[in-house]
A and B are shown apart, each in its own frame.
Chain A
Amino acid sequence: MRVPIFTTKVFWPRIVLATALALALSTFSPTQANTLVIGQTAPPITLTTLDGKQIDTHDLRGKVVIVTFWATWCQPCREELPLLSRYARDHAQQGLVVLGFSLNTPDELDQVRAAAGTLSFPVGLLGDPHVQGYGRIWRLPVSFTIDRKGRLVDDGWKDDSAAWTVIRLEQVITPLLNQEY
């Protein structure tokens, strides 16, 4: 008796396996894993602000840059942001730049605009949470600090207390601002 090939025990496992492999290969993309190393050049990241302006960390050599990730629904972020905003405003003349990447979705744009209006630093939507070199942004808030030479000096993934405080800003950022380029 002829047996249709699709009823054989070996056919479907092979098809499923082959399909899975094909999917994996066809969609292979460069790694977006966390490759951060303190003291090494920080991976570049570009903020597209709410008004469409693009700010690339690569173009900010000579500045101290805080890359911070937040969202309007993140309570710890809401507590941290006013503090960070004040510090950014007070130290802008010393070459501090803060880039705020919001994890909100586009349908929450109004809320993001409202929050951004209270901040002294530029804000934009991140979009895909997989960020080349920084890995997947999987918890909030999280920030990364880049010195005037473009080197990573603070890795937010390794901070037990991820949110900024006055003390932590003074300890981590102020010394960097006092350094010459």
Chain B
Amino acid sequence: MPFMPLITKPLVVALGVLMLSGIPLTAEACATCGCTLSTDAATGYSSESGWRINVDYTYIDQDELRTGSHRANLEQVVNQPSDPSLGGGEIEHGTANQYVNLSVDYRFNADWGVSLLIPYVTRDHSTYGTQLQPYTSAESAPDQLSNASVSGLGDMKLLGSYQGFLPTHNLGIQFGVKLPTGNYGGQTADGRLVGTPVLFKNGPGVGQSLDTSLQAGTGSTDLIVGGYYFQPISQNFDAFIDGQFQAAISEELSSAGGNYRPGNLATMSFGVRYEAHANWVPQLQINLLHKSADQGALADQPDTAGTVAYLSPGISASITKKLQLYAFVQVPVYSHLAGYQLFPGWTGTMGISLAL
């Protein structure tokens, strides 16, 4: 071997634990709208031991109804429903999500690290409710809108990581759990409330439960496994790839008629970082996400599966040796969604990362 590509240690160390650890796998209502940005790739990977705190803010405005790979119109939702047995369909209006994620990372040494992710979820959802065929414009009149707002702690994640496979510490695995720390719940077909769901606060649906998939938490404990690899590919560019799989292994919502299990989720990100400058690093990510349908009586099974791809340009900057900022925009470049789902035209993420 004539030479070894060097694994650059960033001037300011990155998050101690791994890429997708910063991802709040939320926005389950649009199954495929969860954040997919690789925040560890955004800030650069690290093998330096010690504490690190990361805070990021993500905004996702799901304001476009889509089906398959196309836009959907309101008439389509009712007259060609994803679940024909209903005799109509729910016309969702919009879901604006804001996530503030606090991540506390500790790396014991170059090989081992742990991370705790604590999300705070703010979500405003509006819907015209389920309308029966045939569709008429009256069904999407303003007075048909019902609104609900979610604000609270989401589902926390505890992740471990190991990157001691190579002396350059550029190949790693991660493993952990998502815990049911956020409020969860829903309403059964016979009107019974289960869990502690947020209810619609106005409109025709006032007093009814917001969809289970739109609550702050899912009520499930999920196993998470993932891996990552990164390497310089030239003097000025690094390339990276990471992936993660998450699946529920137990559900708090498990009663007959009131059960719910979020669909399995697989994400992958890859991209390049322009490393010519020590203090600021432009980069480009491709983020892929595939989600299977939610299951259970409280699930909107026909409308929760799909595959999406985002193109995500961004930049990270080292303000001091210990302080790093980053900002990204995600633009969807592909989507194939089951049923009818609200989808964002773009998403934005800003973050700050501090080594202690």
Contact = CB atoms under 8 A, between A and B. Distances in A.
Interface of A: 6-7, 9, 12-13, 15-17, 19-20, 23-24, 26-29, 31-34, 71, 73-77, 103, 105, 107, 128-130, 135-142, 157, 160-163
B345 interface: yes
Given A74-B4, A107-B109, 12 more contacts: A6-B59, A9-B61, A9-B345, A12-B346, A15-B348, A26-B317, A128-B11, A129-B8, A138-B232, A140-B3, A140-B4, A163-B2
A128 B278 contact: yes
Interface residues of B, number: 46
Contacts of A139: 3-6, 232
B1 interface: yes
Nearest to A135: B235
A136 B6 CA distance: 10
B167 interface: yes
A32 B8 CA distance: 15
B236 interface: yes
Given A9-B345, A76-B2, A105-B110, A16 B350 contact: yes
B275 interface: yes
Contacts of B6: 71, 103, 129, 137-140
Interface of B: 1-6, 8-9, 11, 47-49, 59, 61, 96, 109-110, 167-168, 232, 234-236, 275-280, 282, 314-319, 325-329, 345-346, 348-350
A27 B327 CA distance: 14
Contacts of A29: 277-279
Contacts of A136: 8, 232, 235-236, 275-276
Given A13-B348, A105-B110, A139-B232, A27 B11 contact: no
20 contacts: A16-B349, A16-B350, A20-B314, A24-B282, A26-B317, A27-B317, A29-B277, A32-B276, A32-B277, A34-B235, A76-B4, A107-B109, A128-B278, A130-B11, A135-B235, A135-B236, A136-B8, A140-B3, A161-B2, A162-B2
